[in-house]
Structure 1
């Protein structure tokens, strides 16, 4: 969801802006949604966290889309995506699509966007999504020599050799090796097209992004709100029935929840812990409370670059000291399910008990493993952002480790998600850290490659295992999607031996509407599909 991170549930809101302005009126056809400031400007391939993805998904439409009811893959801008060998693809576009500035969506807009995003010096967070395309390596900078200049030399080219524009509505893609699920991936934000105006002035685009999706950018007040309006010339079949959406920034999930039940917010994609106790949220919202299986997981990652966590027995001991069932019962009122692997049962390719012993609560065995590893010196600092409803469970996990492992575990929160994520991405964490994830597309691969493959966009642990990378390569090259999915599950099994993260629990999508919304489909990755929303009279 994208690919990174199940991102935070909220980030900073100016005190004067909290809940301000109401949710809009039924007459104006505009709904309001809970939001937080994204990590980066809203360039699709640089948006790999949840809150930025909410906006990108409203403003852009890719070659394919994921059906709201079940995340099935459907063609969107693509007329056809054809291959005979799963390595060479011919992609034809439907005519008539335009960007919000009125310019046509052409094959070159996809090719130019992918080239820009893959070019290393541009620093796009989602660049690694293009690593399978032929020529990707030539677009990356080499690390500067210790005895040479401080800056890395520019790559020899800024164009992927595997991309070729045939005509205005056709382009071809050559991959390094076969990648059977490539068409499934193409609805992810990194693969969105960019208008010609982006390349003339990327900074101007960041201030006023221009997409090709059902909603266009209207305005933004940093740390307060962002507004989008229906794009009247939208070429998709899923035309919006509302006029627009206001994304409102909150500093606490509880504050957003109070606005929801009072009618000052129209959609909340997750419930605060305080509302889960005794199913209070269902009592408060009645028929406006909804729950469905989710493609969401919660994990704690290890900074593998820290010598204290190099020994897998240390990581295994910490994992086995956590009583997941007790935490889910006491903190989440039983609304979470302990994980037994690295993916959710709701995703295609799930295989039970992939984590094995490492995810089984066994405090005595945990102590033995820690003793074999030579113990742990100093306090164990657990970290998360405090603005996303994570403090309660992080404190509970720290207490479990103290009680069951005898290690001085302490929860030290970071004020905002952006600060927390910046520290993670800079590899500056001094202890285990929250590392949740939501699926970007409905295949188990989305829970594996970008988090654990060497050097990928959301591998904030600096985890690297050549055997795991090779297992992914084998899965990528499988002859059918079914065979590939099974092979990805084989790769997942290797993670249990290394345990770069502690799998904790999966979670359903628990969301609520205001009385203003009559209907609306929420995807299994917690995103409200704004094109499906209808309002009460």
Structure 2
């Protein structure tokens, strides 16, 4: 996932990203902080940790880390972000507007997809239109409509069918116009000063014409325009995906290695042991079992830097005992029942920080003094009192569960959180493990559509920043109808404050609106904030020029290997 530039807001936004990049772990070697520009080239194939994508690799239908990491290697967007969070034009030559509503985008000439087809204005417009149309059922459709986190394009509503049995009025958005091969215009329904920041997200990548002949088949063998391309028969499901350098790539992110083999692990411990044994080059996560030792194990090749990652768990809005006034009492009780300080110290060994809001400390506008945030304080007495008040409305029975994917190293903290809840409230609480991330996401997405699934209660949730702004967190996870609003939360007052902030002319004013919006979240608690994650990981002695970005994802194109 990514970040971007902005007119008006750019200076403040990138300042926050620069601050993050300046904070590095003790023990970082010179090779971990060397910039791509000084790295040279190599022929070795870099092996990296990853997870099996949830869906075929289609930009508008990928909103999870496993697939997102791959997409950014094989596609190039209008802009890209460097390790420090600074935005650079990639395929775009210029992105301009006189009113922040009507935007003109001019492309650089000479860009091609790996099948030889030119990248044109139509490549972007067709991809965005496909992503918007409701009958195509794309997970990132909301990025073309919602001003709280996406870009609200005129005509989006006409691409939405009234119900499952009908067809939309249009299959294209009237706010998108192809002027010529290298120029297109975008008309928004509302002004957005940070428009150029947002369009770096992978949902805005271009597609070649062949994609629209059979999109599902294309997703299994995607053709992009990025620094890498998928090798012939390169994707072996649940095993790995092999990428080779794109010799025709003309951008700044030119691959400086002989290729990238992203291995799909179902166990972080296995991945970490492979790293120690020299069987894996780059690992962008550390299993809970090694958090207390990895910096000693890896020495100067260990990475532990602040990251734009928020973590918590979401309680579905329709879950029994968690709606209305009773639900507010129980949600607050659960929050008070969690000993975040002890858990982050004992389970995560200082690689997490207890949350004080719904964003991240590295994001402009973050605050630890938002009204209502005292609900995050560990207070067993208050928790019991609130739970008893809820029981007076409707007696509780059964077990409170938190679903998680076992392949992500989450069991230890889920067990610690549910034990804290159990001890504070005197109720039964336990984790609900899913074998792999894909299975958990499948049930979460089905639950959002009202289908019966195996979910029995809450589920783990989190957000890794797409661009350095509070709106990216707040809008994507809790705005009404947002693609990653997995608990189906909706509050018109909250939505209105997000929209107001998105239209402000200064970031300071916008962040005041966002802070006010968070006071509503602290009252409703659609998700329970737990902690912020550091970007932790490491790399083997086999590679050099390893640099983790502000969002915790390594810049794989810059890694060299003999």
What TM-score, normalized to structure 1? 0.91
Counterpart of 1:134 in structure 2 is 154
- Counterparts of 2:267 and 2:472 in 1: how far apart (Å)? 29
- Counterparts of 1:431 and 1:492 in 2: how far apart (Å)? 24
Counterpart of 1:252 in structure 2 is 267
User: What is the deviation of 1:516?
Assistant: 1.2
- Residues 167-197 of structure 1: per-residue CA shift (max 9 Å, x gap): 1111111111112222101110000000111
User: What is the deviation of 1:274?
Assistant: 1.1
Is 1:421 equivalent to 2:441 in the alignment? yes
- Counterparts of 1:213 and 1:254 in 2: how far apart (Å)? 31
- Counterparts of 2:90 and 2:468 in 1: how far apart (Å)? 16
Of 351, 356, 374, which aligns to 1:335? 351
Counterpart of 1:452 in structure 2 is 478
User: What is the deviation of 1:2?
Assistant: 6.5
Counterpart of 1:380 in structure 2 is 400
Counterpart of 2:282 in structure 1 is 267
- Residues 446-468 of structure 1: per-residue CA shift (max 9 Å, x gap): 11111101111011101000001
Is 1:192 equivalent to 2:218 in the alignment? no
- Counterparts of 1:73 and 1:27 in 2: how far apart (Å)? 26
Counterpart of 1:202 in structure 2 is 215
Counterpart of 1:367 in structure 2 is 384
Pairs within 5 Å for 1:37-436 = 37-68=52-83, 70-131=84-145, 132-143=152-163, 151-218=164-231, 219-277=234-292, 280-310=293-323, 311-354=327-370, 355-374=372-391, 375-427=395-447, 428=453, 429-436=455-462
- The SS at the match of 2:307 is strand
- Counterparts of 1:203 and 1:465 in 2: how far apart (Å)? 35
User: What is the deviation of 1:29?
Assistant: 1.6
Counterpart of 1:19 in structure 2 is none
Counterpart of 2:47 in structure 1 is 32
- Counterparts of 1:179 and 1:309 in 2: how far apart (Å)? 36
User: What is the deviation of 1:482?
Assistant: 4.5
- Counterparts of 1:237 and 1:408 in 2: how far apart (Å)? 54
- Counterparts of 1:98 and 1:357 in 2: how far apart (Å)? 53
User: What is the deviation of 1:528?
Assistant: 1.3
- Residues 263-285 of structure 1: per-residue CA shift (max 9 Å, x gap): 000010011111112xx111211
Q: 1:74 to 1:481 in 2, by over 3 A?
A: farther
Q: 1:417 to 1:172 in 2, by over 3 A?
A: same
- Counterparts of 1:287 and 1:182 in 2: how far apart (Å)? 39
Counterpart of 2:21 in structure 1 is none
CA RMSD of aligned residues (A): 1.5
Q: 1:483 to 1:77 in 2, by over 3 A?
A: farther
- The SS at the match of 1:403 is helix
Task: Please say if residues 2 and 81 of structure 2, whose CA atoms lie closer than 8 Å, have aligned partners that are also in contact.
Answer: no
Q: 1:322 to 1:80 in 2, by over 3 A?
A: same
Task: Please say if residues 320 and 361 of structure 1, whose CA atoms lie closer than 8 Å, have aligned partners that are also in contact.
Answer: yes
Of 528, 532, 542, which aligns to 1:506? 532
- Residues 492-537 of structure 1: per-residue CA shift (max 9 Å, x gap): 23211111011000011111111111112211222111222123x5
- Residues 107-153 of structure 1: per-residue CA shift (max 9 Å, x gap): 1111000000000010111010001111111111223xxxxxxx420
Task: Please say if residues 166 and 172 of structure 1, whose CA atoms lie closer than 8 Å, have aligned partners that are also in contact.
Answer: yes
- Counterparts of 1:379 and 1:289 in 2: how far apart (Å)? 39
- Counterparts of 1:458 and 1:447 in 2: how far apart (Å)? 10
User: What is the deviation of 1:304?
Assistant: 0.8
Point out the more displaced range, 287-296 or 389-398.
Answer: 287-296
Counterpart of 2:469 in structure 1 is 443
- Counterparts of 1:202 and 1:168 in 2: how far apart (Å)? 23
- The SS at the match of 1:307 is coil
- Counterparts of 1:294 and 1:270 in 2: how far apart (Å)? 12
- Counterparts of 1:370 and 1:376 in 2: how far apart (Å)? 9
- Counterparts of 2:80 and 2:512 in 1: how far apart (Å)? 23
Task: Please say if residues 120 and 141 of structure 1, whose CA atoms lie closer than 8 Å, have aligned partners that are also in contact.
Answer: yes
Point out the more displaced range, 395-404 or 371-380.
Answer: 371-380
User: What is the deviation of 1:28?
Assistant: 4.4
Counterpart of 1:7 in structure 2 is none
User: What is the deviation of 1:485?
Assistant: 3.8
Task: Please say if residues 311 and 531 of structure 2, whose CA atoms lie closer than 8 Å, have aligned partners that are also in contact.
Answer: yes
- The SS at the match of 1:217 is strand
Task: Please say if residues 181 and 481 of structure 1, whose CA atoms lie closer than 8 Å, have aligned partners that are also in contact.
Answer: no
User: What is the deviation of 1:419?
Assistant: 1.1
- The SS at the match of 1:160 is coil
- Counterparts of 1:483 and 1:447 in 2: how far apart (Å)? 17
- Counterparts of 1:486 and 1:100 in 2: how far apart (Å)? 45
User: What is the deviation of 1:84?
Assistant: 1.6
